[in-house]
Structure 1
């Protein structure tokens, strides 16, 4: 599966999953209130205050830059864990 690391289709699928998950979190938080706990990925920040849209923009596929794309792919996976 290492050959998929940094591939645009995989990364876009992860980005879509993160957007969907963040929307579900926002929906639940609007009804039950935000849970103020440290982020797993960014422990110096509160999880409910992460700017997921900015992170999705920052960590995306970068044509011609495979190392940055691979790093972005790993960060997207970590963000998915963080959101859960």
Structure 2
């Protein structure tokens, strides 16, 4: 399983899933208002205040940067949990 960590297709799939999930969350928020609880990943921030555009831009695949890509993969998985 570790051979998948940091692969371009895995990171792209996680990013797409996060975008889809964030869209669903915003749809719910439009009806109920934001849920004000601390973020699991960033406990100093409210989960409804995370800027997903910035986070997705920060944790993207970079050609030839294996350790960064593995880190990005893990952070994206953690963001899935956080959402």
3-state SS of 1:56 partner: helix
Which TM-score applies when normalising by structure 1? 0.97
Equivalent residues in 2 for 1:4-83 (5 A)? 4-83=4-83
> Please, which runs of 5 or more residues in structure 2 have no aligned partner?
none
TM superposition shift of 1:10: 0.5
> Alignment length, in residue pairs?
83
Q: Distance in 1 between matches of 2:53 and 2:30?
A: 18
Q: Deviations over 1:37-74 (max 9, x none)?
A: 00000000000000011100100111011000000000
Structure 1: segments with no counterpart, 5+ residues = none
Shift of 1:26: 0.3
Q: CA RMSD in A?
A: 0.4
With the length of structure 2 as denominator, give the TM-score of the two structures. 0.99
